[in-house]
Every structure is written in structure tokens, then in C-alpha cells.
Amino acid sequence: MATHHPHDDAPDTEQTFVHMAESPAGPEHELLVEELVEAWLPMSNRLARRFRNKGENMQDLEQVAAMGLVKAVERYDVERGAFEPYAVPTITGELRRHFRDHTWDVRVPRRVQDLRNKVRVARRDLMNGPGGDGEPTIVDLAEHTGLTCDEVRDGMEALESYSALSLDAETGAADDGFSLADTLGTSESGYDLVADREAAKVGLKYLPERERRILYLRYFEDMTQARIAEVIGISQMHVSRLITRSCAAVRDHAAQPAGQGRAA
């Protein structure tokens, strides 16, 4: 008598599974696994198509389902009964884990993801059920799910976290071209300049008056080394050496922990 299969994509592979179970680990065993996976791949693809309207690429879903199929084949025990009732929850579980772990734009804790799913199902049931005449309240959802009102609120917030707005999305109702990206701050280089100046003050206090004046003329008055040499009355080469030495001393003081500056 022919074996009845609930789906056309459920092949008769009972003897192959028996043979695989009896074969030791090695090339032959791996070939049997590949044969079984290939035979059941149409069923795996059918299960993947159930999730095709959730925003994921179909090829990616088929790959995830195939991974679940491989796990089902390798873990299946022929004494458990038919393979398909064992494989289906294994494959669909792999697909659900994929959506839970990889398709959220904004990462939220797994507990909150579970709350989201409970709230989403309850919201759909209440809106589509008898007497459903609008958006259910927090209290309605809490009573339907057995959750607290705070847990329902967490789930409702997570409903908005499944996908994120683009930074190009316009804000407000006015058509002024103002987008979310316009609300983001930028790095302010002025803060670094302030920090550098405060750090340099420590070292400048320990420099002789002439060296402090040379640095002031060079970096605040923007004088050339030749002009500074004329003003101070020394050679340009000497000015260059003093600038190099003074800058090194200032950096050295700035690098020291607070309160450990050299005595003058």
C-alpha cells in the first residue's frame, strides 16, 4: 500500500534515514545527509514562503529554512515517527529566530520582543473580534494578554522599534524640507581648542619670560621667526631652537598628572 503524504513535497525517505542512522560518521554519512536535505528542500522552501511578506529577501529566507532543515535531518531519530512532523517546527523555529534576532532596526531585549508579539496578536484579535470597534486601550490589552499595563506599554513601544525612520524623513507637517538629519549635532572643534589651551597654560607658567613672549608672538601674533628675531634681538636660528624647546616643555607639563608640575 502506498504511503500517504500530507504534502506533495514530502518524499518517501524512510529507508534513507534508516541507512543514515546505521552508518558511522564519515563520507558516506555526509552523502546521505546531503541526499536527504536535497530531497526535503522543496518542503523547506514552502515553509520559507510563509514568511515572504515580512520584508526579508526570499533567497535569504530559503537559506535560513535550509539551515533548519539540515539541523532537523541531523537530529532526527527514525523511532520518533514520520520526519515531516518533526522537521516543520524545527524549520519554522529557525525562521522565527531569524526574524527575532536579525530584522530589528532598533535592538531591544528579547523579553521586550516577546511582549511586542503578545501585544501585536492581542491587538489584532481585539480589533478583528466581535465588538471590535477601534483601537483597544492599554487596559483592554492587559486583560486580554494577562500582562501588566507597564508590560503592555513596553510591548507597544517595541511595535515602533521594528523598523527605524530614515534620517531623510521630514519632520513636522510643514513642507519645509527639514529632516531628522537636520536635528543631529556635529563635532565642535572649538572644544578641543579650549582643552588644548587649558593644558598649555600649565607649562607656560614655568617658561622664562622671553620664551613665553616668543611663543606669544609666533602663535598669537602670527609673526615669522625672522620678524621675532628682529623684535627680540637674537638670531632666527636661536628663535627656532627656543620655539622647539619651549613647545616640548609645554607638552611635557601638559602630559603630567595634575599637581605634578616642575618647580620654577
Q: Residue 170: helix, strand or coil by DSSP?
A: strand
In angstroms, the CA 156 to CA 106 distance is: 14
Cell of 35: 541526499
> Mean pLDDT highest for which of 15-24, 130-139, 251-260?
15-24
CB-count burial class (<10 Å; 0-12, 13-18, 19+) for 152: buried
Question: Cell numbers of 66, please?
Answer: 535550509
C-alpha–C-alpha distance, residues 97 and 33, integer Å: 23
Predicted pLDDT of residue 225 = 92
Of residues 252 and 200, more confidence is placed in 252
3-state helix, strand, coil split of the chain in percent (to 5) is 65, 0, 35
Per DSSP, the three-state class of 169 is coil
pLDDT, position 210: 93
CA distance linking residue 12 with residue 5, whole number of Å:
8
Among 12-16, 202-206, 217-221, name the one with the lowest average pLDDT: 202-206
Q: What domains are defined for the chain? A: 14-102 (1.10.1740.10), 106-162 (1.10.10), 189-255 (1.10.10.10)
**Poorest-confidence range of 57-71, 140-154, 172-186?**
172-186
pLDDT at 231: 92
Q: What's the mean per-residue pLDDT of the chain?
A: 79
Per-residue pLDDT at 51 exceeds 90 = no
pLDDT at 213: 92
The pLDDT score that the predictor gives to residue 125 is: 83
pLDDT class for 264, splitting at 50, 70, 90? very low
pTM across the whole model: 0.41
Res 252: pLDDT: 84
User: Computed over its alpha carbons, how large is the radius of gyration of the chain?
Assistant: 36
Cβ atoms of residues 23 and 29 within 8 Å: yes
More reliable by pLDDT, 243 or 160: 243
- pLDDT tens for residues 78-114? 887 888 888 999 999 888 888 766 655 556 667 777 8
Residue positions counted in the chain: 264
Q: Which residues contact 172 (CB under 8 A, 6 or more apart)?
A: 178
Cell of 204: 607656560
pLDDT of 138 over the 50 cut: yes
81: left (phi over 0), alpha (psi -120 to 50) or beta: left
**CA pair distance 84, 73, nearest whole angstrom:** 10
Write out the three cell numbers for 27. 563520507
- Residue 39's pLDDT band, with cuts at 50, 70 and 90, is very high
Residue 45 in this model has a pLDDT that exceeds 90 = yes
* One-letter amino acid for residue 17 of the chain: F
